[in-house]
Amino acid sequence: MNSANICMIATIVAYLAIVVAIGISCSKKNKTTDDFYLGGRKLGPFVTAMSAEASDMSSYLLMGLPGLAYISGIADVGWTAIGLAVGTYVNWLIVARRIRLYTHHVNAITIPEFFSKRFGDSKHVLTAIAAVVILIFFVPYTASGFAACGKLFGSLFGMNYTAAMVVSAIIIVAYTTLGGFLAASTTDFIQSIIMTIALIIMIFFGISVAGGVDAVMDNARALPGYLSMTMTHDMVSGTANPYGPITILSTLAWGLGYFGMPHILLRFMAIEDENKLKLSRRVASLWVVIAMAIAVAIGVIGYAASQAGAIEVLEGSASETVIVKLAGLLSTHGVLAALTAGLVIAGILACTMSTSDSQLLAAASSVSQNLMAECFHIHMDEKKKVVAARLTVVVIAVIGIFLARDPDSSVFGIVSFAWAGFGAAFGPVMLFSLFWKRTNRWGSLAGMLSGGVMIFLWKYAVRPMGGVWDIYELLPAFLVSCLCIVIFSLVTKAPEREITDCFDEVSALVKQK
């Protein structure tokens, strides 16, 4: 192992030691499940904003987006980024305050619990189904994070993929099981800073090794459709393919996913003062726009660096390691450069870990809190509930490791499917539960089931037909879910007076504040 690798590993180890230390520190504050899952609702505005976006910007920010831009140009990632930016802002604008007030009003600490209490579901049918949905989509989502870590170390240090993935998973599980939500949110805040530094470093270094801005642009212009927002480049054939209105609309639909993301919605629920959400919204929205724009640029710059011979030409899923290759090149320029490269790799780790920890917590809460305690009525004191929650995190992580065992899996592909699943199954139900008083348990149940099922039907049965049917599954599934919520709510009995009164009380609180 050369000195550059030693410096990089030292930086990474120092970073990992910090996040584990945070987990140990926060573990002392986890006395109840409310502490473990929501940090006692004591997050400040900056931690709320940056932890929400760090947990949102999973491995696709530093691996998925640059990799897709590298091989196909800016259309696909550009429209995706626009959809995500708009979705981020709207979610903070219309959902954040209302869900914070509503969940506090009905004393709900998880999304499944909120759905049941919102609609007076005393049998916890909604809780059980929502918990199962979380497991179905979060476990593979978490696996994508583990896979990203395996690719990272395998590409950079030549480590065995499986060993690297398992070690990374152990670190994530360690600080998550120790510190719970507070540790996850605090580390996410730190990780967002490291991610930002990593992005800025790589964009300047990438431009320098590619031969300057002019060289980057010349290489991009030489590829048909590479810089177009209405065409996309096919690296295999060297030709441009149309990126029409239907495809653009389909890609923009990524923004709809935010309304159903449990790990993001939990941040809204956990802020200490809902009146500071405006500040959080501005910070979060600005950071997302800047981070995604730089991530896309890194993909374009990375291609130019390949053409200049600075890094190897990447194909297929290997394109997702473009920032790793650039970091490896940076490490060869002396000790300070190697330490800086280690910080970049720590940024990629942060990107992955900040999402994985939040997903593990959300999935764990669906098992220990929603299924075991509420559905199966397994009675435990607060101490045993916290222990059960920690054990659940470990079990889910083990399953995630098993699913991530294939090193050829696409990080972007896995994230895309899980994102669609949550967006369609939870997004419409969340919006209607917050804004339409007439929504009842049957409507929400129909919306949740139809949205989740339609994701599978559209992806595996309809979309393969191609043509006008080649639409990102989130959009049709989201629309079907909305339609089912309206129809089933109207043809079944209206909500009880107690439920509508609660809705009115929360609406009044929103207007007052």
What counts of helices (H) and strands (E) characterise the chain? 22, 2
Position 436 pLDDT exceeds 90: yes
Q: Could you report the per-residue pLDDT of 71-117, keeping only the tens digit for each? A: 999 999 999 999 999 999 999 999 999 999 999 899 888 888 899 99
18 Cβ contact list (under 8 Å, min separation 6): 190
Strand partners, 242: 231
- Provide the phi-psi class of 377: left if phi over 0, else alpha when psi is between -120 and 50, else beta: left
> Which of 103-107, 291-295, 368-372, 430-434 shows the highest mean pLDDT?
430-434
262 Cβ contact list (under 8 Å, min separation 6): 110, 111, 134, 138, 362, 422, 426
Tokens standing for 249? 């609309």
Higher pLDDT: 162 or 409? It is 162
3-state DSSP assignment of residue 205: helix
CB 451 within 8 A of CB 289: no
Q: Is 105 exposed, middle or buried (0-12, 13-18, 19+ CB in 10 A)?
A: middle
To the nearest whole number, what is the mean pLDDT of the chain? Answer: 83
Does the global pTM surpass 0.85? no
CB 417 within 8 A of CB 403: no
3-state DSSP assignment of residue 73: coil
Tokens standing for 433? 């539960």
Q: Could you report the per-residue pLDDT of 355-364, keeping only the tens digit for each? A: 666 667 777 7
Give me the amino acid identity at 13: V
Q: Could you report the per-residue pLDDT of 379-424, keeping only the tens digit for each? A: 777 677 667 777 877 887 888 888 777 776 666 677 788 889 989 9
Distance CA 117, CA 132 (A): 17
pLDDT band at 354 (very low <50, low <70, confident <90, very high): low
* pLDDT at residue 57 in the model: 67
Distance CA 238, CA 224 (A): 7
Position 6 pLDDT exceeds 60: yes
Distance CA 147, CA 451 (A): 27
